[in-house]
Chains A and B, each alone.
Chain A
Amino acid sequence: QQQVKQSPQSLIVQKGGISIINCAYENTAFDYFPWYQQFPGKGPALLIAIRPDVSEKKEGRFTISFNKSAKQFSLHIMDSQPGDSATYFCAASIEGNTGKLIFGQGTTLQVKP
């Protein structure tokens, strides 16, 4: 119930391409869905987040698509750049709870120049 499942585990994309990472959840009480980016040796950094009252949110080259009925959400990175090469984590939490984040397993993205 508390799990967030993320796929794919790894992804290789050519520079300029679109990177797509998917996540699925079971607990319908989740109401906050952030994506974090993590570089080796660093802590995760918030990239973009969405709440279930909207189906899409865009910030620069990063877009979250949210499908409440399917309990799925995805991250799209447009015009992927080598500097985007990192590990990406989706997460979920519940408002009114402690705010603790439940993370997916992570996706290692490599953008080839």
Chain B
Amino acid sequence: GAGVSQTPSNKVTEKGKYVELRCDPISGHTALYWYRQSLGQGPEFLIYFQGTGAADDSGLPNDRFFAVRPEGSVSTLKIQRTERGDSAVYLCASSLTRSAYEQYFGPGTRLTVT
């Protein structure tokens, strides 16, 4: 079956611009996570959705970052007024339920802010 998909695979934007990154989780997975992976580092948690609601957004670095999941499936991570420090690979993962533990990751979106 189809895995987690993310679009675009690469995004180059200028400092100060707004970007949206999309995640399509595995069908039927209720839990969805966003992580950010900087070069040479492990992924860092950003936000967790259970269904439509953001149950834990403690990893969002500041209020320029926002994410939605309006219908409990596709999620969009939104970054306003991008900064060069936002450059990273943004990973999305889904799991059947929070307690199912096994998280399946997408290939990520590589964001470059120039």
Contacts and interface: CB of A to CB of B under 8 A. Distances in A.
B108 interface: yes
B42 A100 contact: no
Interface size band for A: 20 to 34
A100 B59 contact: yes
Contacts of A42: 107
Given A100-B56, A100-B59, A49 B43 contact: no
Interface in A90-113: 91, 93, 95, 98-106
Contacts of B4: 43
Given A44-B91, A45-B105, A99-B103, A89 B42 contact: yes
Interface stretch (B12-20, B69-77, B79-87, B93-101): B93-101
Contacts, number: 62
A62 interface: no
B48 A89 contact: no
Nearest to A93: B101
Interface in A55-113: 89, 91, 93, 95, 98-106
Contacts of B56: 98, 100
B61 interface: no
A98 B98 contact: yes
18 contacts: A6-B42, A36-B105, A42-B107, A43-B93, A43-B106, A43-B108, A44-B43, A45-B105, A46-B104, A91-B42, A93-B101, A95-B99, A99-B48, A99-B98, A100-B56, A100-B59, A103-B43, A105-B42
